[in-house]
Amino acid sequence: MIAVKARCTCGPSGRFQSTTIQRRDPGPRDVLVDIAFAGICHSDIDHARSTRGKTMYPVVPGHEIAGIVSAIGTEVTRFVIGDRVGVGNMVDSCRVCASCRSGLEQYCAGRVLAYNAIGRDGEPTYGGYSEKIVVDEYFVIRIPDSIPLANAAPLFCAGITLYSPLRHWSAGPGSRVAIAGFGGLGHVGVQISKALGAHTTVLELTAAKREDALRLGADAYAVVGDPATFIALATSFDLVISTVPANVDLEAYLGLLAVDGTFVNLSIPQKPLSVAAASLLANRRSIAGTRSGGLAESQEMIDFCAAHGISAQVEVIDADYIDEAYERLLAGDVRYRFVIDAKTMAKG
Ligand code: ZN
Ligand code: ZN
């Protein structure tokens, strides 16, 4: 086993503390990754605080991981020591179901999440808030040289979570896309949507992020705190992707969809989504959800990001700052993703 410094919480109201976890010795197909940076995703907060009631403590969150390969198993073929790599929210899956065989590992009933899960070896999984991780090479993604590791880390959740629906619903030249919420997910999504060729609008509660949104490629920016916006933009989008981690006025958002338009919800708000059926009958609208993306698509995503100069805008923090970062993230006070410098895990 390999002893690794990490940060964990031991209960829903606990602060993060320094701990030592054990990683398995790399098996034949495993890659040992020296973590350089780990992004802080909103869902990390949900798990750390067990807001969905499903956390196994102690929990080491983190599913936006970027680092360097430092050892490989005897049968590893895709990586060598020194490669720049990333790991997202999955570290294993069954490999044989229809989803796995179609490159849709995110829909495998036997998928293993990077943390707060039980691996196929029966051991709990611990995420990226740590110095090292051991992962089967199939679940490791190569990071192109042009993207710094700190800016690459968030792409493994925020990036793929937006890339996958944008591709699935064919965002591209001639299509009109709105991205609701310009935060960790949204600010990457806007860049991807624009690079795919779609006319891209940001929907935000206030005007505060307008300049950043336009700088990162948005064609338009609308303030949804003003009800007049929903009238002005009625039936004007083919695709609305909501990154907002709370219940939104679904009726209002559905009203933005043109004929055959789709509203894609990416978050898990506290309350069920509710909608009047008539809103769907009008314009033959759809409501959908998606969950991250598969491994091949994740590689495609980061290669696409490199080719188009896309990455996450980050604020690098020390491991001692995670609790404060959570509070600031909940207050919307980050532009646009916190990433933990893994070198600081050993402090404290
Ligand atoms: Zn995430
Ligand atoms: Zn499967």
Output the CA 329–ligand 2 centroid distance in Å: 33
The pLDDT score that the predictor gives to residue 36 is 98
Report the topology of domain 159-289.
Rossmann fold (3.40.50)
Residue-wise pLDDT tens digits, 122-138: 999 999 999 999 999 99
Q: Which ligand has the minimum distance to the alpha carbon of residue 243? A: 1
Q: Which ligand has the minimum distance to the alpha carbon of residue 104? A: 2
Cis peptide before 321 (omega within 30 of 0): no
pTM for the model: 0.96
**pLDDT lower than 70: segments of the chain:** 348
Output the CA 66–ligand 1 centroid distance in Å: 14
What secondary structure does DSSP assign to 252-303, as a single string? HHHTTEEEEEEEEE-S--SSPP---HHHHHGGG-EEEE--S--HHHHHHHHH
Report the half-sphere exposure of 171 (CA within 13 A, side-chain side). Answer: 30
Q: Which ligand has the minimum distance to the alpha carbon of residue 294? A: 2
Output the CA 90–ligand 2 centroid distance in Å: 12
Output the CA 115–ligand 1 centroid distance in Å: 11
Residues near ion ligand 1 (CB < 5 Å) are 41, 43, 157
Output the CA 111–ligand 2 centroid distance in Å: 6
Q: How many Cβ atoms from other residues are within 10 Å of residue 220's Cβ?
A: 16
Tokens (6 digits) for 11: 């209960």
Residue-wise pLDDT tens digits, 138-154: 999 999 999 999 999 99
Q: Which ligand has the minimum distance to the alpha carbon of residue 93? A: 2
Provide the strand spans (E) within the chain: 2-8, 17-23, 30-39, 65-72, 84-87, 90-92, 112-113, 132-136, 141-142, 176-180, 199-204, 220-223, 237-242, 257-265, 286-289, 314-317, 337-341
Q: Which ligand has the minimum distance to the alpha carbon of residue 108? A: 2
Output the CA 225–ligand 1 centroid distance in Å: 26
The pLDDT score that the predictor gives to residue 224 is 95
CATH architecture for the domain at 2-156+312-346: Alpha-Beta Complex (3.90)
Q: Which ligand has the minimum distance to the alpha carbon of residue 162? A: 1
**What is the per-residue burial (b if ≥16 Cβ within 10 Å, else e) of 260-286?**
ebbbbbbbeeeeeeeeeeebeeeeebe
* Residue spans per domain, the chain: 2-156+312-346, 159-289
Instruction: Supply the DSSP symbol for 95.
Output: S
Tokens (6 digits) for 14: 């606990």
